[in-house]
Amino acid sequence: MNIAVLIKQVPDTETKIKIKPDQSGIEEGDIKFIVNPYDEFAIEEAIKTKEKIPGATTFVVSIGPERAGEAIRTALAMGIDKGIHIVNNEPALDSYLTAKVLHGVLKERNISVIFSGKQAIDFDHGQLTQMLADMLDWPCVMITESFQLKEDKSGAKLVRRLGGGAKEIYEIAFPFLVGCEKGLNTPRYASLPGIMKAKTKPVEKLLVSNYLEGQSAFVSYKNYELPPERMAGKKLEGEPQIQAQSLVKLLREESKVI
Partner 1 sequence: MYNILVLAEHVEGKIKKTTLELVGKASLLAKELGGSINVCLIGSKTESEVHALAAYGAQKVFLVNQDQLEKYNTIAYTQVLAQVVSESKPTILLATASPMGKDLFPRLAARLKAGLVTDCIELKINQGKLIAKKPVYSGKAFATGHFNTPIQMATTRPNSFPMIVADPNAKAEISSVTFDPGTLCAEIKEVVQGLVGKTDLTEAEIIVSGGRAMGKSENFQVLQALADVIGATVGASRAAVDSGYAPHDMQVGQTGKVVNPKLYIACGISGAIQHLAGMRTSKVIVAINKDPEAPIFSKADYGIVGDLFTIVPLLTEEFRKLLSES
In whole angstroms, the minimum distance from the beta carbon of 237 to partner 1 comes to 9
With contacts defined by CB under 8 A, name the span among 45-53, 71-79, 169-177, 199-207 that binds partner 1: 169-177
Q: Is 217 exposed, middle or buried, given 0-12, 13-18 or 19+ CB atoms closer than 10 A?
A: middle
186 binds partner 1 (CB under 8 A): no
The answer to whether 56 touches 64, Cβ cutoff 8 Å, is: no
In whole angstroms, the minimum distance from the beta carbon of 91 to partner 1 comes to 13
* 144 bridge partner residues: 160, 180
Out of 53, 154, 196, 248, the only residue in the binding site for partner 1 (CB under 8 A) is: 248
* 24 bridge partner residues: none
E strand or H helix at 3: strand 2-7
Cis, peptide link before residue 21, omega less than 30° from 0:
no
Out of 150, 173, 202, 204, the only residue in the binding site for partner 1 (CB under 8 A) is: 173
148 binds partner 1 (CB under 8 A): no
Query: For partner 1, how many residues bind (rule: CB under 8 A)?
Result: 84
The answer to whether 48 touches 73, Cβ cutoff 8 Å, is: no
Out of 153, 182, 188, 197, the only residue in the binding site for partner 1 (CB under 8 A) is: 182
∠ CA 170-174-175 to the nearest 5 degrees? 110
169 binds partner 1 (CB under 8 A): yes
Q: Which is nearer to partner 1, 57 or 127 (CB)?
A: 127
Question: Which residues, numbered 196-225, are part of the site for partner 1 (CB under 8 A)?
Answer: 216-225
In whole angstroms, the minimum distance from the beta carbon of 200 to partner 1 comes to 32
